[in-house]
Chain A
Amino acid sequence: MIIRKLCMRQSRQLLALSRRAPISSRFQSTLPETPVETLQTPIRDEISRSENPLFEMVQAQSEASTPAQQEFTSDEPPRSRFKKLGTSVKSSYDPEDVIRNPPKPSQISLEMLLAAGTHLGHSTSRWNPQNSRYIFGIREGVHIISLDVTAAHLRRAAKVVEEVAARGGLILFAGTRKGQKRAVVKAASLAKGYHIFERWIPGSLTNGEQILGHCETKVVNALDEELPNFKSDLADRPSLKPDLVICLNPLENVVLLHECGLNNVPTIGVIDTDADPTRVTYPIPSNDDSLRATCLIAGILGRAGEAGQLRRLKMAQEGRTSYTPITAQELRLDPFTGLAPGGEGQKK
């Protein structure tokens, strides 16, 4: 219906053409009926040269200058004949692929890291000499990070993420640079963790009750099902602290890493040649300015977390845990003085 109307609206211009309009029949789902034809012919006669100011221009454009052009405009079959020719491009690089479907830690290869550009460091003048272990050489005034070291550290970090996830730890992914948002959110959703893609509010760990006091907390059992009975017991609890923090840009998040140090939280960070490797527990020497590189690293760590979570849930279904669960009595106890009756429940 709508398409028909469009044809009608366009037809005022199309009718002015001297040749037959090919579009009118192409847009219609059914063959044009005879009444349409009879309708069109009188209108065409009505429009005269003087009424249409663009008549001559249209006339000039529609006139084909060479016989080949005349054939091209008049005949359909030759064009359809050529449509079968040529090639179709099958697999080409898709930048979304690393976010939508990140690779697993077992798939890490040096070629993958090279293609992502993780080996490109900073200008030699900006280096932090503590990173000299990770640097392969100098090329065109830029430090080149050793790919095998990157792969080894990335595998180690992935293992840590997987183990922490398997023990039900809270994992926080932080990437506050422009464009890292989607990768961070995707990694956190894979690892069932938490994410920050905007500024880290200083004091979120050291002064958590003031900054995160209003945030919702819940008690879940080993199968991640919420236990609403314990809601009232959480009122006077301090805010939760992560068990592992993954930082994609440690240079901008010095405060976050400092607070993690104060609260004794292990950290994983992407360390470029100008960053300080002692700020994090598990450094991953890599280019942190390339979005492709950081997205790849975040994706791999997210996948590792996913594997850990799967393992944990599988064990929970069999009735086992790889961690010592908190008992209901412990949960009901006041943080400062002992109190409260028992019940069944576990907190991860």
Chain B
Amino acid sequence: MGKINLTALRVRQTALNQFASGKTSKLPQWVGVVGEIPPAETLIRTRPPQHELVQQRLKTVAGSSKPQVVFQVQEKRRKPKKPSRLFQPVELKYEEDQLRTQFFCDHPWELARPRVLLESTGKDFEHYDWSRIQQPGKRLDGESVVQRQLWLLNNVPDMTKSTAYDIARREFYRLRLQEDIQRRVASEEAAAYGAEFGPSYMDIGMKMENEQYDKWVAWARETSLVQDQRKSALSGAPDLGDTTESSEIEAEEGEAVSL
């Protein structure tokens, strides 16, 4: 009916009224509880939190030796907000967003790597120190680069975005190379100690391809036989032309097998 139903919020009032009017002979046990702990106000609109994009930078000042911390706030929009949108929630913006977009634009295959999204306590960030790119308990990924770049922007005097990006990226590439080498050495080491890794994907693929070739050979042999029989039945006696055809197919078979 377009009106707000306040029955649930007014349970205590209703219970008291029913008791006063004699509808119920006894007050329910929870009336005191709801009186002591009243329901929160739900329907009063408040101005939602206004989020601003704040950037922290270190800048060297001409006079002093110590760099100065500068906070830059995103410019306010020139056109004021529509009154109807006054109570609507505001978009959350962080400085990392642009950095993240840039990194994953340049390295799209980083998104294909598996990543752990689960947190057991929600306090993982307490163990991280972005003055270096490697963190305990966190795998090196695109997010490491973004966080490292942000730390450089916030804590190194006169740092520009592109320089920070280059520094963070270089560290990242170096560690990725190191990982590759570690993996290779580990496999070699394991092989030296007698590990067997089984056939590689390439071997398995080749085997499957060969199986298909063999199938084709069997099929070709059968169809050529059928064709021979059909022709001989039509002509009444085997002809010279037929034998040449079947020999051609056999030659093809030989090629396929050798391939």
Interface residues of A (CB under 8 A from B): 64, 66, 68-73, 78, 91-93, 109-115, 124, 129-130, 132-133, 135-139, 143-144, 146, 152-153, 156, 159-160, 163-164, 167-169, 243-244, 257, 260-262, 264-267, 277-283, 323
Contact = CB atoms under 8 A, between A and B. Distances in A.
B89 A132 contact: yes
Q: Please list the 7 inter-chain residue pairs (A to B) with the smallest Cβ-Cβ separation, ordered nearest first.
A: A72-B194, A111-B122, A115-B122, A93-B120, A261-B7, A137-B92, A163-B33
Interface of B: 4-9, 11-12, 14-15, 18, 28-30, 32-34, 36-37, 39-40, 42-46, 48-49, 51, 87-92, 118-123, 191-196
Contact of B43 (A112, A130, A163): A130
A111 B123 contact: yes
Nearest to B29: A167
Contacts of A136: 48-49, 89, 92
Nearest to B47: A132
B7 A167 contact: no
Given A68-B191, A69-B194, A159-B37, 11 more contacts: A109-B122, A112-B122, A113-B122, A133-B45, A143-B89, A160-B34, A169-B29, A243-B28, A244-B30, A261-B8, A277-B43
Contact of A282 (B39, B43, B51, B123): B39
Given A69-B194, A115-B119, A164 B5 contact: no
B92 A139 contact: yes
Nearest to A279: B8
A112 B87 CA distance: 29
Nearest to B43: A130
A160 B87 contact: no
Contacts of B37: 156, 159-160, 163
Contacts of B33: 160, 163-164, 167
B51 A137 contact: yes
A159 B18 CA distance: 26
Contact of B89 (A66, A138, A283): A138
Q: Which of B33, B45, B192 has its CB near the most chain A CB atoms (within 10 A)?
A: B33
Contacts of A92: 120
B123 to A, nearest CB: 5
Contacts of A71: 194
A68 B42 CA distance: 73
B6 A164 contact: no
Contacts of A135: 48, 89
A127 to B, nearest CB: 8
Contacts of B14: 264
B4 A278 contact: yes
B120 A243 contact: no
Nearest to B6: A278
Contact of B48 (A68, A132, A167, A323): A132
Nearest to A95: B118
Contacts of A160: 33-34, 37
A103 to B, nearest CB: 11
Nearest to A139: B92
Nearest to A269: B8
Contacts of A72: 193-195
Contacts of A281: 8-9, 11, 34, 39
A93 B116 CA distance: 12
A68 B45 contact: no
